Amino acid sequence: MPTLDEVARLAGVSRATASRAINGGSRVSAKAADAVAEAVRSLGYTPNPAARSLVTRRTDSVAMVIPEADERVFADPFFARTLHVVTQALAQRDLQVVLLIAQPGQEMQRTLRYLRGGHVDGAIVVSHHRNDALADHLAGIGLPASFIGRPLAGAEKVFYTDPDNVAGAREVTNILIERGCRRVGTITGPADMSAGIDRAAGWRAALDAAGLATDALVEGDFTEDGGEAACEILLRDHPDIDGLMVASDLMAAGALRALGRAGRRVPDDIAVVGYDDLGIAERTTPPLTTVKNPIGDMAREAVRLLLSQLDGTTTHPLRVVFAPELVRRTSA
Amino acid sequence: MPTLDEVARLAGVSRATASRAINGGSRVSAKAADAVAEAVRSLGYTPNPAARSLVTRRTDSVAMVIPEADERVFADPFFARTLHVVTQALAQRDLQVVLLIAQPGQEMQRTLRYLRGGHVDGAIVVSHHRNDALADHLAGIGLPASFIGRPLAGAEKVFYTDPDNVAGAREVTNILIERGCRRVGTITGPADMSAGIDRAAGWRAALDAAGLATDALVEGDFTEDGGEAACEILLRDHPDIDGLMVASDLMAAGALRALGRAGRRVPDDIAVVGYDDLGIAERTTPPLTTVKNPIGDMAREAVRLLLSQLDGTTTHPLRVVFAPELVRRTSA
DNA sequence: CAGTTTTGTGGAAGCGCTCCCACAGACACA
DNA sequence: TGTGTCTGTGGGAGCGCTTCCACAAAACTG
């Protein structure tokens, strides 16, 4: 492996000049810059990242932390989209993404050790739960971090972006109410995630405002099978429901299966709305009326928030909340 | 951030002794080891990975390279399982996995630069295509690498594990022949991947041996939608087929949808077999007769092959081929 | 044209760590 | 008592890079 020294020697300049030429090139004559570039090419030189980060105290890489079981990570399009956008946005600054998938427990300990160890310059956290306490941990470590989705614990200490889940759920539930549903159930997300709690709160707010009952609630887990199972429980305990607000499209797809098996026609017997609009909602039968979860925008914004920390521009925790947008299809 | 120097000072030993105590601890007295451990604890010391790898010339991390579009990576359970097993196996040696998802083009250039740059000690490559030429590139770089699935180009230069796809496809096609199918079609994988080519070869071998025609072939892309589309073409061009060998269960699931829409009963009108058995095969209607793709074993073996390179145990490229195993369900 | 600023350059320090090597002391054996 | 082995220790070099600083030369000032 060629070193900077060899490049400098071949180019006929000092190591300092070669280094300057390679990084940005300010305060370097055109002649020297050319000579260095030529030497780099002919030697096939690549800077040693360890040596570089030893002195710069940067690693030029950022962790994307997903505290979930890998089955779920790979089954939910949410993560694919988010990872894609984050990777793209960071690539523009030549930052490499290191994906850390770790469910609570021993793996999480490894992950925290990794984050504390200085392997990365910062972290983007997504799909966090109350118990993982990642906001507290990261704030404790002092690692620049940016959360996608409001953390339930320690939110005041960290930067985050969040969709206005309460408003979104309220509005989409109102669609059900306006079309005449009088017995509206919900399948919520996990109660240890802000998206789960907030969407349930929005559903409740809409029903309260309309003077309707809010007892037909079953907790789901943001998986398709979980949605199906929750729907069965709902049908058993509340056979009279004529409207259903499901906290994610993936769960709604499962719920539609259960409704189909139970012989309920959608939307005639029961109107259904979902949440997310990440592609699945278009492909279910019938296609889902849902709320757009602007994860592309959120991911981009989360990257921006992280970069502002890395650049030292912003020091005080910022939050950015995105307004919901309804998408009407035929399920309600 | 505390340094080794501070740890050593607090423990009352030299930096050399502290370093020895932290790494393994051979040739260190129990007293010194305890003092260092206590100092590490009280200071919350973590070794600086950059400084360490500058001298050890190791990074203790390994790349998992997936040259695919991220949609496909996240839609196919194959990757989730593989990543899971690889991560677990490497964690036992305290090696961190860095996931690199890069489709051909500019992203791939970035990825190769990253691999060349010495960021990782080795690479596990999965789902490679002929055109990405990863085997040649990695052999050229001289980076220890281990492929899951035989590379189409440069296979002689690298370590790899491979299922015996030809044998597997032949045997599962024989199931169709034995149950009386006389017009057997196939939906293949991509023609630029060994799994695509070999499974088609096995299908052809079985039909040739039985003296049956081998013209009902349509190329698929290992996605569910691709399988559905391919099946429609097959039904249009060869409406008389009574048997279908699909090169992956995911594509077979798509094919079943198309068959259902065309009013063909499975297995009565047309018997169908798949490939992989990664969970999907159990959940289709009807459940698929398929071939088990031992990706857990393959991934573990690939890690072993990689570690043998990192340890310097083996220098000459090795290959490990896994025998197929039929799984009979009701689709054929 | 002397004085000032700007530009380009190289010497050298130092980032935090591992590991080679020399060495002191403990112990064993003849 | 001398010789040899083994154990534990610390000094110090050096991994490859960036960056501070001093300095010379060139380019501007009035």
- The pLDDT, as a whole number, for residue A187 is 98
B191 in A contact zone (CB under 8 Å): no
| Interface residue of A54, A93, A285 to substitute, partner B, most B CBs within 10 Å | A54
B43, B45, B52, B54: best mutation site toward chain A, by most A Cβ within 10 Å? B54
What value does the mean pLDDT of chain B take? 94
The reported pLDDT for the residue numbered B104 is: 82
DSSP characters over A260-274: HHTT--TTTT-EEE-
What residue type is assigned to position B88 of the chain? Q
Query: How many other β-carbons are positioned within 10 Å of the β-carbon of residue B250?
Result: 28
Give the Å distances, CA to CA, from A83 to A296, B224, B254: 10, 22, 26
DSSP one-letter code for A281: H
Looking at residue A33, its amino acid is: A
The per-residue pLDDT for A33 is 94
* Closest by CA position to B187, among listed B282, B129, B255: B255
Whether nucleic acid strand C comes within 7 Å of the CB of A330, the answer is: no
- Output the pLDDT for position B283: 87
Render pLDDT for A160-190 as a digit per residue (tens, 0 to 9): 999 999 999 999 999 999 999 999 999 999 9
pLDDT at residue B315, as a whole number: 79
Please judge whether B96 and A75 are an interchain contact, meaning their C-beta atoms are less than 8 angstroms apart: no
Q: For chain B, which ranges sit under pLDDT 70?
A: none
Please identify residues in chain A, positions 35-74, with a C-beta within 7 angstroms of any atom of strand D: 45, 47-48, 51-52, 54-56
Question: Between residues 73 and 102 of chain A, which touch chain B (CB distance below 8 Å)?
Answer: 73-75, 77, 79-80, 83-84, 87, 91, 96, 98-99, 101
Closest CA to A125 of A104, A151, A94, A105: A151
- Dist CA A115 CA A92 (whole Å): 23
State the nearest Cα–Cα gap between B117 and chain A, in angstroms: 6
CA of A30: nucleotide with nearest C1': C8
Q: What's the 3-state SS for A165-221?
A: HHHHHHHHHHHHHHCCCCCEEEEECCCCCHHHHHHHHHHHHHHHHHCCCCCCEEECC
pLDDT in tens, B103-112: 888 889 889 9
> Which nucleotide's C1' atom has the smallest distance to the CA of B8?
D10
For the segment 33-52 of chain B, residues whose CB is within 7 A of strand C:
45, 47-48, 51-52
The helix or strand, by DSSP H or E, that contains position B273, with its residue range, turns out to be strand B271-273
pLDDT tens-digit series, residues A74-133 = 777 888 889 989 999 999 998 999 989 888 888 898 899 999 999 999 999 999 999 999
Span A254-275, average pLDDT: 97
Whether A29 CB is under 7 Å from strand D: no
The residue type at A197: I
Contact A70 B80 (CB under 8 A): yes
State the pLDDT at residue B80.
Answer: 85
pTM equals: 0.88
Residue A140's pLDDT band, with cuts at 50, 70 and 90, is very high
Structure token pair of residue B274: 């798949």
pLDDT tens-digit map of A268-293: 999 999 999 998 999 899 999 999 99
For residue A239, CA distances in Å to A10, A22, A232, B30 come to 81, 70, 10, 69
Answer yes or no: do A54 and B48 touch at CB < 8 A.
yes
Q: Cα separations (Å) of B162 from A33, B167, B302, B320?
A: 48, 12, 9, 6
Residue A25 has pLDDT above 80, yes or no: no
CA of B309 to C1' of D6 (A): 34
For chain D, which bases have at least one atom within 7 A of a protein Cβ? Answer: 7-12, 14-20
Residues of chain A contacting B113 with CB distance shorter than 8 Å: 46
Pairing of strands A96-101, A145-148: unpaired
Question: What are phi and psi for residue B90, nearest 5 degrees?
Answer: -75, -30
The encoded tokens of residue A264 equal 């309920």
For residue range B221-233, list pLDDT tens digits in order.
Answer: 999 999 999 999 9
Inter-chain touch B1–A75, beta carbons under 8 Å:
no
Q: Which of A46, A53, A99 sits opposite B116 (nearest CB)?
A: A46
B87/A113 Cβ within 8 A:
no
Task: Give the torsion sign (CA, B204, B210, B216, B220).
Answer: negative
Identify which of A50, A80, A116 has the shortest CB distance to residue B74: A80
